[in-house]
Structure 1
Amino acid sequence: MSSLKDIIESRETNEKRLSNEAPDFHKGFRDRITLYYKGGALSTKYKYLMAVTAAIATKCKSCMILDANKAIIAGTTKEEVIGVEAIGIEFGGASAYVMVRNNLLTFLDEME
């Protein structure tokens, strides 16, 4: 299992490469993400909690970890992240449960 630091470093490396090799695509996607997670009727914190739920349901481990980290940075508690995992598992089934069981708590401990 990679550490949180490894996942973040890999993301940053790949973001830089994509920015250099496909700048228009990268900028368009990043601009959209910035807009989507901007506070409004729902705060950034709750949007990242929703992203954690979606990541679990779609079984994207790195998305789950990165979005949980961003949720924590936005003011979410570990307990709130744990609280939304059940919704992702409801939609993602047993394999989503296994992904959460094998990864989420360990990474949340690293975020504290």
Structure 2
Amino acid sequence: MEKQLEIKSMISGNWAEYRRLMPEVGALHEPLTEEVYKDGVISGKNKRLMALVGGLVHGCRGCILSQTEYALQLGATSEELLEACAVAVSLGGTMAAAESTRVVAYLTEKELL
């Protein structure tokens, strides 16, 4: 079985290498991301949960794992993450349901379930 923590680490490492090779992209991407996900009328945590739904519906494993971790860092509970998965399943059907198993595996690996 795939280890979600290992996959997230590999993706993060490859993204860091891409940013090293393409620093102009990182210089543009990072400030935008920081601005978008900061607390505003909608909290940063809720924005991360929204982004998780998008990642689940579109099947982006890097997005799923990263947004799950960011949401946890901002205080999201396992229950909140699972409810976000339910929203994704409502929107994306069986494909989002299959991707939601990554969240379950990730939370299990982190001993949060």
Same fold (TM over 0.5): yes
Matches of 2:27 and 2:91, distance apart in 1? 31
Q: Which amino acid aligns with 1:2?
A: E
Deviations 1:5-52 (A, max 9, x none): 313321332222112211111221111111111111111111111011
Shift of 1:100: 1.4
Partner residue of 1:80?
Answer: 80
Give the aligned CA root-mean-square deviation in angstroms: 1.6
Partner residue of 2:107?
Answer: 108
Partner residue of 1:58?
Answer: 58
Q: Which amino acid aligns with 1:32?
A: L
Q: Which amino acid aligns with 2:48?
A: Y
Change (3 A) 1:61 1:20: closer
How many residue pairs are counted as aligned between the two chains?
111
Give the 5 Å matches for 1:10-89.
Answer: 10-89=10-89
Change (3 A) 1:23 1:41: same
The TM-score, its normalising length taken from structure 1, stands at: 0.87
The TM-score, its normalising length taken from structure 2, stands at: 0.87
Deviations 1:75-96 (A, max 9, x none): 0000000011121112212111
Partner residue of 1:2?
Answer: 2
**2:44–2:74 CA contact under 8 A, matched in 1:** yes
Percent of aligned pairs with the same amino acid: 23
**1:89–1:97 CA contact under 8 A, matched in 2:** yes
Matches of 1:39 and 1:55, distance apart in 2? 20
List 4+ stretches of structure 1 deviating above 6 A.
none
Structure 2 gap segments, 5+ residues each: none
Q: Secondary structure at the match of 1:93?
A: helix
